[in-house]
Amino acid sequence: MGTTTEEMSPEERLRGLARGVLPPDAAASETARRRHLRLTKPPGSLGGLEELGIRLAGMAGACPPPVPGRPAVLVAAGDHGVLGRGVSPWPQEVTAEMVRNFCRGGAAVNALAATVGARVLVLDVGVAAGTEPHPLLRKARVRPGTADLSRGAAMDRREAARAALAGAEAAEELVREGTDLLVTGDMGIGNTTPAACLVAAFTGRPAAEVTGRGTGIDDATLALKVRVVEEALALHGPNPEDPLGTLAAVGGLEHAALAGAILYCAARRVPVVLDGISSCAAALAAAALSPPSSGYMVAGHLSAEPGAAVALKALGLKPLLDLGMRLGEGTGGLLAVPLVRAAARVLSEMATFEEAGVSEG
């Protein structure tokens, strides 16, 4: 008898999930590229929207690709031991307090999700103070926040794998219930420090280039934060070819969870819209676990956090929006949902020159 899913270790299950991701369908993308030339517009005139439509066709394996009608945002939340180094001006309690705010509908993510008609699901993978039960909240707390990554591993491999699987399970629930476009979001005071570590580890760029001001820190705190990221990288020497080890050493529980959610969606050919710096860091981990998964990622916006541009470049993704946003929660990703819908709708609803009786140039 073979090994059942229950008997497999979390790491084996995560590897299985990663193996299930197939590359987007190049033939469907090519059909979309050719269809764009026949639609009633000068070739290429819809710019990035055309490129996005071509990618969506590849993700769906069909041209025209379906117009996503049921978007959702998954907000993964966790706390960070590295906060003890003074890398953020905000107290740890804010993570749990904001989770409560998300559940009650009072946060920016709720306002923007309502604007684009997206469902909100919050995932507690490691909120130190704990969270109260709520219909919008899934509790899968792996540990009450990570350890200080500048002095030891943030977590162990098994914990990182369990957090990734928790993210995959939350995505599975959403997709089972009809979600056809996932936006990734995050909440975790201090999480721009592990995000910077992950971006540095996976791209090989120096700490000073990928570390930013997060929620808003002064020059002295930024200098300290860069040093903390440098110390962590020197301590662990994370190997980008061991993505789970890298997540465990210098990541956060919410980064691991989002990587798992991305992999699940990619395996199901569901497009994923990335939000800010933590989503970008998680996306690098997902792409390291499964290179074809980047084919299912859409960069919703460009976070003001400098590591985001570095990560997106490494992933080969161009951000759809650049509004100077740096909130996280999924906010910038949600604003890109109408663009994703528009890109698919162009391919399905526009008439060709022939159908419309319009002369070609």
Ligand X SMILES: Cc1cc2nc[nH]c2cc1C
Ligand Y SMILES: O=C(O)c1ccc[n+]([C@@H]2O[C@H](COP(=O)([O-])O)[C@@H](O)[C@H]2O)c1
Run of H or E including 346: helix 337-349
The CB-side HSE value for 160 (13 A sphere, CA atoms) comes to: 26
- By beta-carbon proximity to ligand X, the closer residue of 107 and 165 is 107
Amino acid 295 reads G
Kindly state the smallest distance separating residue 302's Cβ from ligand Y, in Å.
9
328 part of the interface to ligand X, by CB under 6 A: yes
> Under the rule (CB under 6 A), what is the footprint of ligand Y?
88, 90, 186-193, 214-215, 276-278, 303, 305, 326-329
In 3-state terms, what secondary structure has residue 119?
Answer: strand
Q: Which of 306, 329, 340, 341 binds ligand X (CB under 6 A)?
A: 329
Closest-approach residue to ligand Y (CB): 276
Kindly state the smallest distance separating residue 1's Cβ from ligand Y, in Å.
45
- Report CA-CA distances (Å) from 303 to 210, 311, 347: 12, 11, 29
Kindly state the smallest distance separating residue 215's Cβ from ligand X, in Å.
5
CB 58 within 8 A of CB 25: yes
- By beta-carbon proximity to ligand Y, the closer residue of 189 and 286 is 189
CA dist 258 and 178 (Å) reads 19
- Span of 126-134, 201-209, 307-315, 326-334 interacting with ligand X by CB under 6 A: 326-334
Among 329, 283, 336, residue whose Cα is nearest residue 310:
283
Return the one option of ligand X, ligand Y, none that residue 277 interacts with (CB less than 5 to 8 A, by type).
ligand Y
CB count, 10 Å around CB of 189?
26
Cis peptide bond N-terminal to 64, omega within 30: yes
- By beta-carbon proximity to ligand X, the closer residue of 187 and 280 is 187
CA dist 80 and 189 (Å) reads 7
CB count, 10 Å around CB of 289?
22
Q: Give, as ranges, the residues between 199 and 258 that touch ligand X (CB under 6 A).
A: 215
Find tokens 């008997």 and name the residue. Answer: 7
Sign of CA dihedral 326, 329, 334, 340: positive
282 part of the interface to ligand X, by CB under 6 A: no
- Span of 43-51, 238-246, 287-295, 323-331 interacting with ligand X by CB under 6 A: 323-331
Concerning whether 254 is annotated as a catalytic residue, the answer is no
- Span of 138-146, 219-227, 324-332, 344-352 interacting with ligand X by CB under 6 A: 324-332
Return the one option of ligand Y, ligand X, none that residue 184 interacts with (CB less than 5 to 8 A, by type).
none
CA dist 115 and 350 (Å) reads 25
The one catalytic residue among 50, 159, 254, 329: 329
Return the one option of ligand X, ligand Y, none that residue 191 interacts with (CB less than 5 to 8 A, by type).
ligand Y
Number of residues that bind ligand X (CB under 6 A): 8
- By beta-carbon proximity to ligand Y, the closer residue of 188 and 319 is 188
Among 157, 173, 184, 166, residue whose Cα is nearest residue 262:
184
Kindly state the smallest distance separating residue 331's Cβ from ligand Y, in Å.
8
Among 282, 218, 222, residue whose Cα is nearest residue 256:
282
CA dist 277 and 257 (Å) reads 14
- By beta-carbon proximity to ligand Y, the closer residue of 128 and 327 is 327
78 part of the interface to ligand X, by CB under 6 A: no
* Residue ranges in contact with ligand X by CB under 6 A: 90, 94, 98, 187, 215, 327-329
Active site residues: 329
